[in-house]
Structure 1
Amino acid sequence: MPTPPANQDATPKVTRTRFAATELGTRERIMAAVMAESALALSINATLGRHVPRVHLFADSSRIDNDLAQLTNLSPYKLNGQKAHSMVLGLLFNMTVHESYDWFLLAKDSTYINPFVLLRMIDTMNWNEPVVMGEAAEDGSGRCRLDTGMLLSNPAMQILLKQRNICNLITSPTDDDQLAFEKCIQAATNLTCKTLHQGIRYEVWRGAERADSPAAHDSIEDWKHSKAFSRALAVPRLLSDADASALHDYFVRVEMQRADREISKMEAELSRLAEDEARETGEAISWPPALPPYAKPPNRYQVPTWEYFTMTEIFRSEPNQNVRRLEGKDFDDVAEVVVAARQQVETEEPELEFVQLRNGYRVFDPRRGMDYMIDLTYRKTVNEMLEMENQGDGDGEAVHEESLKEIVVERRVHVSRMIASTQLMNQAPYVKEDTDVTVVIPVAIENEVLPARKLLARQARLCLSPTEETRKTRMVVAVFPEVDTRSVTAISNDMEELKRRCKRSLLETDVLSVRLAASTAGQGTVAAAALDDAVDRYGANTIYLLLSPHADVQKEFYDRARINTIKHYQVFFPVPFVEYHPTISGMEMTEKEEKETSTSQAREAALSRLRDGVEPKRKRALIVQKDHGRFDSQDFSCFAVYGVDYVAARAKLGPSDRRNDLIAAFLGQDAIHVLRAVEPTLRIRYHKRHCDMESVDTDDIARCLESKKENVAAKDQLAKLLFHEK
């Protein structure tokens, strides 16, 4: 505990380490230190670096060419009359790597190291005792050969770096660098080279060392028939980067075959264990193997929500609507599942007569797919023996009669729709946060001028942040012919003022004049016309962010638009927070006015303003809260897209097609994905929304009408407005 200064609180405070790994003593598994002497170092760095946590190269500065100089993990040194081991060990000590890794591999760049065998070795052996593994020298001195690689444990490396100064006393000026390095490691650690340690052998393949042998890449076809070659850790004496690449390709194929064999073996073992468990417990084998059965949540916080359905309706877990008609893709899904369930039942019991679907439930599991529970009602005819007593002249006599009776039978069937057509991505697309963004704000009618100017004022306030913005942003307002010239002048003045305030932010401003008549087009057509002119003017190699003039954004939204928009791969359609009608939601009143006004007075005043058609005025700040608005998943008015992707998708829409939004242009494409995500930093102010009933797409009209209806107010707010509270 450090002693506090005199002018501070004398209570001692514990100084904690910066990283948890340092405090817990957690280390990486292995580091490879490669002696770079030629261009082969590039190949070793590329092949080994993909699998080992860290590869670091050490090279004499006189041997570094332009290609080696580009590597960021290269440490150059000057000999100045010393041996190479003195400089390398000094650099390793200064880098303090001996505190961060369990194992250390020392090798020359002319030696290929099989990373798969290496990782399996260090995962099997214990690192907590000093050991030096490798191939022993032929002279019987007990030292390891550097040209075939050396594997040192953490304690051995600690001793080596601590006693490295001994090396200057035992090396001879006539020794070459490799021999001096080998003697240094043996003298400083006082350890004998081990070829076998804890049952693990250090395998070296020497097929390339014969003088008359061809190059390694020409000999692989002959070597691959030897089992010793497939399990070799080191292959020395490489001649070119073609040798290293060919060896790595071969060992990758060997590792893939090994992984396939292990997977097949594991699948067979899982099937056997599942059958044994099913016999012991009496339960059916779960599908797929090794996955938890359906409908069993991992804990009480992750309980899945089942959707109930019949053949006509489906009950969803939604905040504003719980029951919907079963139609479209949902109807096709349910019909197919019911047919599959009926086939299962009627195959086992053909005497049953189907009556109806009684209940149905479904839930989606990302690991299993869609699971269903289907309750079916059947009718079954059975023979019933009736015993009657016949009273005649004599004694009573029993008479047996046979009658038919129908009974109702219930059957429950579990159905699973497996996930199909899955695809593994080899690598994630590369995304940068410093991409230029062009923000396009279409202003089609006069009523959108004031909201657009408020959005520009909001942008001006964002520019006053103390941090300097180095990324380029361009604000473009697309003005249509129906906007008054005085309003255009006011917007131009606002843009000039915005540019003056945002000098530190590399902000550009511009006003575009669009020729399309907004009165003859929908909102989607207006957006398309604005983007068409913007892409033609500023090029197709930048991100275009289309914003509604009624939008209210925060600075973080631009960063998310940059990250989530990927060229030739993904467009970003955020789900905005849409404001309710301020009069109905109570945002026209301040908190003080709300407390002083009774509920009945507030209700009558709100109804009066609604009847008179008074434009609502907002007196409170819009925050993301359930009484102020909702996240509208049907709103596609704002999106971010690269110009080249927009041009490719624009061809799907006709030049005069009337649309309410542009989401249809990006649907049904194999190359472009649509990302939808809830975005709290994007908010849409309340405005009177118009749906173009002449749109070419009926789904487009239905989507707009549903969004318009749901964004008026919450159900409880409408109830308080329409009904008297008792």
Structure 2
Amino acid sequence: MRRQPSMLYLRPFMPLIVGLSLGFTLCLVCLPLLEEGCTSEGSVDQVARLRKPNSVQETQDNPKPAKSGGKQPFRARYISTELGIREKLVVGVITSRETLDTVAVALNKTLAHYIHKLLYFTGTRNVKAPGGMYVVTHGDDRPVWEIAQTIRYINDHFHKDYDWTYLVTDNTYVQGERVTDIFDHISMNRDVYMGKRVPFRDMDGYYCKVGITEKDGTQAFSQACILPLCRGEDVCLFVCLFVTMETILDLQPDEWLGRCLHDVMGISCVGEAEGVDYHTYEFSSTTDPDNEDSQEFQKAHTVHPVVEPTDLYRLHRRFAHIELDLLYPPIQTLNPCFPAQIKNLSHKTPEGEAGLTWPIGINPPFKPQSRFDVLSWDYFTETHLYTCPDGAPKCELQGVDRQDVDDIITTSVQRLNDKYQKQGLTFEHVRLLNGYRRFDPTRGMEYELDLLVGETGPDNIRDVVTKRVKLLRPLSQVEIIPMPYVTETTRLYVILPVTVHDREQVAKFLDSYAQVVLDIHENSALTVVFIYDPLDAQNIQEEDVFGMLKSMITYYERKYPNAKIPWISIKTDVPTQLKIMDIISKKHPVDALFLLVTVTDELTIEFLNRCRMNTIAGWQAFFPIHFAQYSPELIYDTKPYPATVEFGKEFGHFDVHAFDEACFYNSDYMSTRTELQKQRKENEDVSETYNLYEMFLKHSNLHVFRAVEPDLRQRYMPRTCNPHLSEDLYHSCLVSQAEGLASKEQLAKLIFEHDNEIKSQAENVVKS
């Protein structure tokens, strides 16, 4: 009877007791099975070794445990990957072979710095991607298949890394900052298909359409749409195969995509999501990007269709001005005394008030270290420039210079109106009195203008006043242009033309070439071109004017068994660079790198390497400006003269009128020579009209790089100018001949000494 109350007291706790007992029993039973999943001996040993100090050496007596074959857990390199944090937007640009190098490049330059990932898709294969652009080729240029493969590629490679996908054609300007701002305010978990709404022709709903052709379009998808779309994409393409031919011809890629989304997911294109609107603007031939001021234009996220690359840049500039105009008023409202506060605090900086720059935030002006570094100002008016590229004292403002001056005057008047608007003053441009500009490499282009403007006050009284305005056009972000890879190991083919007048200098050149190239087995090959005039060519069997030189070449080939110095003979009365290279080009590989030199050149390893590095096949040709020695008889007082050319302003000068040396690839020469001949008459001989420099500069797409080369020095030799050359080439030869005698100071000194000698001789004659 006494046990019954105790059992009644424990009865509510019986399920708990039974559950605990059963749980302990099951744990003990399952313990051997779970031991295999515990940390292995190898893992324990690995942790122990990580905790062990590096300074303690492990002895050979300590047994090493066997390594476990279990896989180590994968840890992501970045915490964002492990946490599943994704970037906001990936943009795909649909382009073509014809527009990849034009509007696509312009779109890349105006959009790439806003977007984390920017891809270009084209249906044609074997396209050369411009520098800095990620290009994907599908191999199928049918519009529907192209956009389908584009979406599939983005899903396969980027669906785990981005929340939104944005498709755009290359003839559409995209305001990157506004587009990215849209997706910052919309949830990526929603099924969003956004763009310009266009109703379907034969069904309810809308698809996203921008533009007037089948290649114009911009669409945005959330990640929630991409996966179901790609699963149903094959079904959509399969259906396309069985529709009528008329429907296939009428079906455009954006309409097909809208139908696919409508059939697979039941969604249509929207122009607004979560209170955020998507605006577009249609660009026409009458649209002026620099002055367009409509409300629709100012709100636009995209502008289409844009055919010319320059229009893309102009649109980008216009939208940048619009954003700046929206940004300046809030800054002035928040703190109108901000510039004054910076000026007051400047005395606490190490440089004091002298370190305060104008405008604020721009680098200080360049400080010259000597009088040779002083930046000069260029004077200009509204019609003429007084610092001309060709050295003329006055030239007419044309092209970009005219646009620059007009833009600066317009901006100056606009800034004056903005500054004095609160005082009720307005200004109108009357005339530019004086204009000065200079380029500062640390800041940009600086301007100082004296403007005669019409001033109208609050009482509508007009007066003409003079205002001095200072402006600065700052440098934009520095752009690193990718260049093709070049090395210093490329084989160099040195071409040496020799005429009858050059025979005495050949021995010195061969001796110098042997020391610089042959002695150290430099990767270069020399080809000598003997140029016979018609009279010497007729008597070659009786007396070869180059016989001694040919024997000299044979001597060097015996001295250096691994070196071969081939020679070629040509006959002409007017030896020009094009005539020589027309023959040489056919006897060398297409990828050969040529270096054209003269018999008076002194070669160095440094110059040969710079020739290799500065010459890029299909990209750049190099024309060095050699250091030409003055006449030793005029610059030296005593003999013997130095064996090599001394470097200094009293010993020579950089001859900018000579184009004797050139570095270029044979493939570039052949293509440019063909293009030159196409642009001339069929029977016209252009070999005496052009030199290599003019040919590459005017008839090729290569960048012609011309710079002084202090390691290429040319010994003095009286220059012979052939009167059969063209007028320009003959004039350049005469100028080079005249300036190559000595400096103006040395010539004046010689004339002065000669006059004194004549006077003294005359006095002696009178006395006698």
TM-score (norm 1): 0.51
- Written as runs of structure 1 = structure 2, the 5 A alignment for 1:77-116 is none
Partner of 1:716: 745
The verdict on how the C-alpha distance between 1:410 and 1:624 changes in structure 2, with shifts beyond 3 A counting, is same
Letter in 2 for 1:688: P
> Deviation digits for residues 648-676 of structure 1, max 9, x if unmatched?
11124446222463112222577522233
Instruction: Answer whether contact 2:531 2:572 (CA < 8 A) is retained.
Output: no
Equivalent of 1:621, from 609, 620, 644?
644
Equivalent of 1:583, from 633, 636, 658?
633
Partner of 1:689: 719
User: What RMSD over aligned residues (CA atoms) do the two structures have, in Å?
Assistant: 5.6
Query: 1:278, CA displacement in angstroms?
Result: 8.0
Instruction: Answer whether contact 2:518 2:563 (CA < 8 A) is retained.
Output: no
Partner of 1:394: none
Instruction: Answer whether contact 1:660 1:692 (CA < 8 A) is retained.
Output: no
Partner of 1:453: 507
Q: Does 1:437 align with 2:456?
A: no
Q: 1:290 and 1:164 mapped to 2: Cα distance? A: 67
Partner of 2:352: none
Instruction: Answer whether contact 2:530 2:546 (CA < 8 A) is retained.
Output: no
Partner of 1:674: 704
Query: 1:253, CA displacement in angstroms?
Result: 6.8
Q: Does 1:514 align with 2:412?
A: no
Query: 1:280, CA displacement in angstroms?
Result: 1.3
Match of 1:305, SS state, is coil
- Written as runs of structure 1 = structure 2, the 5 A alignment for 1:110-259 is 139=37, 141=39, 159=54, 169-171=64-66, 175=68, 177-178=69-70, 203=82
> Deviation digits for residues 399-449 of structure 1, max 9, x if unmatched?
xxxxx99976242242528669x9754x542223332222111224x2122
Instruction: Answer whether contact 1:475 1:507 (CA < 8 A) is retained.
Output: no
Letter in 1 for 2:411: Q
Partner of 2:338: 280
The verdict on how the C-alpha distance between 1:720 and 1:301 changes in structure 2, with shifts beyond 3 A counting, is closer
Instruction: Answer whether contact 2:533 2:571 (CA < 8 A) is retained.
Output: yes
Partner of 1:327: 395
Q: 1:140 and 1:299 mapped to 2: Cα distance? A: 73
Query: 1:492, CA displacement in angstroms?
Result: 0.8
Equivalent of 1:649, from 672, 678, 698?
672
Instruction: Answer whether contact 1:441 1:548 (CA < 8 A) is retained.
Output: yes
Instruction: Answer whether contact 1:431 1:563 (CA < 8 A) is retained.
Output: yes
Q: 1:283 and 1:665 mapped to 2: Cα distance? A: 59
Query: 1:357, CA displacement in angstroms?
Result: 3.9
Aligned length: 462
- Written as runs of structure 1 = structure 2, the 5 A alignment for 1:238-637 is 279-281=337-339, 292-293=362-363, 295-297=365-367, 305-311=375-381, 314=386, 324-327=392-395, 332-346=399-413, 348=416, 354-365=430-441, 369=444, 371-378=445-452, 409-414=466-471, 416=473, 425=481, 428-444=483-499, 446-462=500-516, 465=519, 467=520, 469=521, 471-481=523-533, 484=536, 485=540, 486-503=544-561, 506-518=562-574, 526-584=576-634, 586-587=635-636, 589-590=638-639, 621-637=644-660
Q: 1:590 and 1:702 mapped to 2: Cα distance? A: 33
Q: 1:478 and 1:381 mapped to 2: Cα distance? A: 75
Q: 1:157 and 1:641 mapped to 2: Cα distance? A: 62
Q: 1:274 and 1:166 mapped to 2: Cα distance? A: 74
Select the structure of larger CA radius of gyration.
2
The verdict on how the C-alpha distance between 1:667 and 1:341 changes in structure 2, with shifts beyond 3 A counting, is same
The verdict on how the C-alpha distance between 1:144 and 1:298 changes in structure 2, with shifts beyond 3 A counting, is farther
Query: 1:167, CA displacement in angstroms?
Result: 9.4
Q: 1:656 and 1:448 mapped to 2: Cα distance? A: 26
Match of 1:667, SS state, is helix
The verdict on how the C-alpha distance between 1:677 and 1:140 changes in structure 2, with shifts beyond 3 A counting, is farther
Q: 1:477 and 1:578 mapped to 2: Cα distance? A: 23
The verdict on how the C-alpha distance between 1:337 and 1:673 changes in structure 2, with shifts beyond 3 A counting, is closer
> Deviation digits for residues 280-331 of structure 1, max 9, x if unmatched?
1159999999973463559999966233324566469x9xx9x742437x76
Instruction: Answer whether contact 1:341 1:374 (CA < 8 A) is retained.
Output: no
Letter in 2 for 1:141: T
Partner of 2:29: none
Q: 2:440 and 2:161 mapped to 1: Cα distance? A: 37
Match of 1:453, SS state, is helix
The verdict on how the C-alpha distance between 1:381 and 1:510 changes in structure 2, with shifts beyond 3 A counting, is same
Letter in 1 for 2:39: S
The verdict on how the C-alpha distance between 1:376 and 1:673 changes in structure 2, with shifts beyond 3 A counting, is same
> Deviation digits for residues 344-368 of structure 1, max 9, x if unmatched?
3455577667455424121153x76
Query: 1:638, CA displacement in angstroms?
Result: 0.4
The verdict on how the C-alpha distance between 1:659 and 1:669 changes in structure 2, with shifts beyond 3 A counting, is closer
Match of 2:450, SS state, is strand
- Written as runs of structure 1 = structure 2, the 5 A alignment for 1:4-83 is none
Letter in 2 for 1:462: V
Instruction: Answer whether contact 2:627 2:710 (CA < 8 A) is retained.
Output: yes
The verdict on how the C-alpha distance between 1:201 and 1:539 changes in structure 2, with shifts beyond 3 A counting, is closer
The verdict on how the C-alpha distance between 1:497 and 1:482 changes in structure 2, with shifts beyond 3 A counting, is farther
Query: 1:534, CA displacement in angstroms?
Result: 1.3
Letter in 2 for 1:203: E
> Deviation digits for residues 497-522 of structure 1, max 9, x if unmatched?
2222333xx4321221123322xx6x
The verdict on how the C-alpha distance between 1:295 and 1:443 changes in structure 2, with shifts beyond 3 A counting, is same
Letter in 2 for 1:567: A
Instruction: Answer whether contact 1:660 1:691 (CA < 8 A) is retained.
Output: no
Query: 1:171, CA displacement in angstroms?
Result: 2.8
- Written as runs of structure 1 = structure 2, the 5 A alignment for 1:698-713 is 698=728, 704=733, 706-713=735-742
Q: 2:587 and 2:610 mapped to 1: Cα distance? A: 25
The verdict on how the C-alpha distance between 1:156 and 1:644 changes in structure 2, with shifts beyond 3 A counting, is farther
Query: 1:695, CA displacement in angstroms?
Result: 5.7
Instruction: Answer whether contact 1:460 1:501 (CA < 8 A) is retained.
Output: no
Match of 2:571, SS state, is coil
Match of 1:495, SS state, is helix
Instruction: Answer whether contact 1:354 1:378 (CA < 8 A) is retained.
Output: yes
Q: 2:700 and 2:744 mapped to 1: Cα distance? A: 40
Query: 1:250, CA displacement in angstroms?
Result: 6.0
> Deviation digits for residues 616-660 of structure 1, max 9, x if unmatched?
xx5563122111112233432101111111111112444622246
Instruction: Answer whether contact 2:496 2:526 (CA < 8 A) is retained.
Output: no
Q: 1:656 and 1:201 mapped to 2: Cα distance? A: 68
Which consecutive residues of structure 2, in runs of 5 or more, have no partner in the other structure?
1-34, 85-116, 118-152, 167-175, 182-319, 344-355, 418-425, 678-683, 757-768
